[in-house]
Amino acid sequence: MKIKNSASVAPENCIFCKIIARILPAAIVYENEEFIAFMDRSPFSTGHTLVCPKKHGETIWDMTEPEIGGLFTVAAKISKAIVKATESDGFRFVQNNGEAANQVVAHVHVHVIPVKMSHKGVYMDRKNPPMEDLQKTADEISSALGTI
């Protein structure tokens, strides 16, 4: 079974694979051998981070159960640092699979989106902060990782 995704590309053309290979810039929050976390370039809120496997796969169906567990383990760890660094009141995990689910980049990823009580029930628009601001937030989250 295949999920429809017009954003499908070969790994050598994948924007996230290019970030992993350091061909494209990103404000990196965390990295280990299997996963990487970096700031979303068009965040819903300050601290909105993407966590993805380094191994290319379009949807969660392209991962093994242990890989899926590892992805969400890293996302959970990152969420604690994000909430602490951004002084948020909660967070969302969003994981889209396929075009119908609004997956824009065809590489598995989990959005970790911090939210404050003032966000409750409010539609959140994407923002377009400068890279310097994203890097500053990434550094604050990375620092918070060392304290949790």
Kindly list the catalytic residues.
Answer: 109
Distance CA 127, CA 129 (A): 6
The beta-strand segments (E) located in 17-148 are: 28-31, 35-39, 49-53, 90-94, 110-115
For 33-125, strand residue ranges (E) read 35-39, 49-53, 90-94, 110-115
Structure tokens at 107: 């590489």
DSSP 146: T
